[in-house]
Homo-oligomer: A and B are copies of this chain.
Amino acid sequence: ESANEFRFQKDSLLQRLEDTEARNQTLEAQLSDLEQRLESIQLERETYRKNLRSLLELLDGKIFELTELRDTLVKLIEAS
């Protein structure tokens, strides 16, 4: 093949390489963005779960206190 033909192929390859590298950068940016969103979702979920656990402890407390109140009512009924 002639030197001209090789030069033409080289330029064409160079163009495709640049396009592919540009696409690569876009993909890497998207990936990094998604990974950050996932990480932030995990953190939110962890906070959420912590809040639900606090709620659960409060609920346990209320159930315990209602049970004490119930026992007081039993004593009142039995004493009368």
Interface residues of A (CB under 8 A from B): 1-3, 6-7, 9-10, 13-14, 16-17, 20-21, 23-24, 27-28, 30-31, 34-35, 37-38, 41, 44-45, 48-49, 51-53, 55-56, 58-60, 62-63, 65-67, 69-70, 72-74, 76-77, 80
Contacts and interface: CB of A to CB of B under 8 A. Distances in A.
B80 A55 contact: no
Given A6-B3, A27-B24, A62 B58 contact: no
Given A20-B21, A63-B70, A66-B66, 13 more contacts: A1-B7, A6-B6, A6-B9, A9-B10, A17-B17, A20-B20, A24-B27, A48-B80, A52-B73, A53-B77, A55-B73, A59-B69, A60-B70
